[in-house]
Amino acid sequence: MIKASIIGANGYTGLELMNILSAHKDAAVTHLVSVSNAGTPVTDIYPSLVDYRDKCFETLDIDKISDGSDVIFSCLPHSASAEICSAFFNRGKKIIDLSADFRYKSLDVYEKTYKVTHPDKELLNKAVYGLPELYRKKISSSSIVGNPGCYTTSSILPVYPLLKEAVVDADDIIIDAKSGTSGAGRKAEISGLFAEVNENFKAYSVAVHRHTSEIEQELSIAAGKDVAVSFTPHLLPINRGILSTIHLKLKKNRSADDIYDLYMKYYGTEPFVIISKDKLPSINSVKYGNYISIGFVVDKRLNRLIVISCLDNLIKGASGQAVQNMNIMFGIEETEGLKFQPRHI
């Protein structure tokens, strides 16, 4: 039984980790750290977590938690997370960090994007980018994984094969992404109030969102050259889910069959990637599941390709993917604990 502890467990990614891990056959949750809620029963904050009726949030006692853990999931904010991850890594624990701290291959890009000094540059070099569909093998032999962002997973997976095979123009990638509100976390802010979000819709961080550099890192690898993308995020009045509409230019004429075959070549055996030829995915085809669903339209009139990808930002975009990474790191079945279906309603 893998002993798993969660640091920063009181937020929404912690909530999802607790939910997924409670049904995982080979893992058990040992410590749930939330400094601000230490001593509080988990079900005081999340009554839905009935399997945690006997557990309380704890303070951050690194030695104690190390003793009782094989793997640490960090749900802390960037910068704060790296410091804590360092401490656990040095005690021989496997680390899955849900912050941005271990996602970057370039220290410079990380520090420019997040405007901080990285607390442990050496560890950054050891980390693997936790996108199983691209880095499964490296993840399996790594002890530290930087779990990808929600927007980035929904952007990289659909575009990667198209650039790798030079099917679309690498200089003309427009990602128009829409996310549910849980992506903003569980923070007391007026802008997050129900009456401010409900019956509303808006773009934000246009041309400056931090996930852009993370997307560009991976798409540049795919293209074999520096790629810059135009990324525009929006806030949807729904609890969970991301839909990314990706506007691409075909380099030459391609049929829908061509595109479908290409995707199947890359993802045909992937357990959590769904490729559709004739239908477009919607949020309700993926919410509450660990799947990314990809559909597309070839616009022959304009020689364009419009790709739609959907995932649940808290699951395939965060905690589900983190458990998928854990499974790979510990050599157990990759889909363990993640086979639940999405919920249409």
Q: Contact 238/314 with Cβ under 8 angstroms?
A: no
**122 to 181, contacts with a copy of itself by CB under 8 A?**
172, 174, 176, 178, 180-181
Q: Does 202 bind a copy of itself (CB under 8 A)?
A: yes
Q: Does 255 bind a copy of itself (CB under 8 A)?
A: no
CB atoms within 10 A of CB 179: 23
Binding segment for a copy of itself (CB under 8 A), chosen from 72-80, 95-103, 250-258, 306-314, is 306-314
Furthest CA-CA distance within the chain:
63
Cα–Cα distance measured from residue 59 to residue 31, given in angstroms and rounded to the nearest whole number:
10
Nearer to a copy of itself, 83 or 333 (CB): 333
Q: Does 232 bind a copy of itself (CB under 8 A)?
A: yes
Could you tell me the CA-to-CA distances from 326 to 49, 123, 177, 283 in Å, in that order?
A: 21, 18, 28, 26
Active-site pick, 75, 85, 150, 310: 150
Q: Contact 252/277 with Cβ under 8 angstroms?
A: no
Q: How far is the CB of 335 from a copy of itself (least distance, A)?
A: 12
Please name every residue paired with 297 in a beta bridge, in sequence order, or none if there are none. 306
Q: Contact 239/181 with Cβ under 8 angstroms?
A: yes
Q: Does 257 bind a copy of itself (CB under 8 A)?
A: no
Site string for a copy of itself, 264-293 (x = CB under 8 A): ----------x----xxxxxxxxxxx-x-x
Q: Does 240 bind a copy of itself (CB under 8 A)?
A: yes
Paired tokens of 212 = 């852009």
Q: Does 245 bind a copy of itself (CB under 8 A)?
A: yes
Cα–Cα distance measured from residue 328 to residue 335, given in angstroms and rounded to the nearest whole number:
9
Q: How far is the CB of 243 from a copy of itself (least distance, A)?
A: 5
Q: Does 336 bind a copy of itself (CB under 8 A)?
A: no
Size of the site for a copy of itself (CB under 8 A): 81
Nearer to a copy of itself, 93 or 287 (CB): 287
Nearer to a copy of itself, 5 or 10 (CB): 10
Q: Does 150 qualify as catalytic in the annotation?
A: yes
**182 to 201, contacts with a copy of itself by CB under 8 A?**
182, 186-190, 192-201
Q: Contact 144/127 with Cβ under 8 angstroms?
A: yes
Q: Does 40 bind a copy of itself (CB under 8 A)?
A: no
Which residue, 273, 277, 319, 327, is CA-closest to 298? 277
Q: How far is the CB of 53 from a copy of itself (least distance, A)?
A: 9
Sign of the dihedral through C-alpha 23, 25, 27, 29: positive
Cα–Cα distance measured from residue 198 to residue 252, given in angstroms and rounded to the nearest whole number:
42
Amino acid identity of residue 2, one-letter, is I
Q: Does 67 bind a copy of itself (CB under 8 A)?
A: no
Q: How far is the CB of 114 from a copy of itself (least distance, A)?
A: 17
- Which are the catalytic amino acids? 150
